[in-house]
Amino acid sequence: MHEMSIAAAVVEQVGRVALQRGATAVTTVRLDVGELAGVVPRALDFCFALACEGTALEGAALETRTVPARARCGPCDVEWHPGMPPDLVCPRCGGARAELRAGRELHIRDVEWADRPLHTHG
């Protein structure tokens, strides 16, 4: 299950920071998840709770924010939402030289420690 490996990686990364700062508890972990990342939110929630057991993250809430997909056509510089599955043909010029600019992200936005929040990303 793809979500279990994601949850385990998040717990490992946050746990490493917890050790470095001497934190004993995490209350919330906030993730940005691109809509094209192939993550099932309910499965990630379930796996996160399992991965947290016995760690400084046990009992922590997982909050996810979906990042919408965005594509951009190089030749005509138009941006659009490519849909699902992604349509990377430019709606303006019909060209197929588009790049996916957003929608595949999966990163920790911030962590809230039991004592105070520590922002890890903007």
90 is in an annotated binding site: yes
Phi-psi region for residue 77, left (φ > 0), alpha (ψ -120 to 50) or beta?
Answer: left
Residue 52 counted as an annotated binding residue? no
Residue 2 annotated as lining a ligand binding site: yes
- Check whether 73 is labelled as a binding-site residue: yes
Please check if 47 is assigned to a binding site.
no
User: Which residues define the annotated binding site for Zn(2+)?
Assistant: 73, 76, 90, 93
User: Which residues define the annotated binding site?
Assistant: 2, 73, 76, 90, 93
User: Which residues define the annotated binding site for Ni(2+)?
Assistant: 2
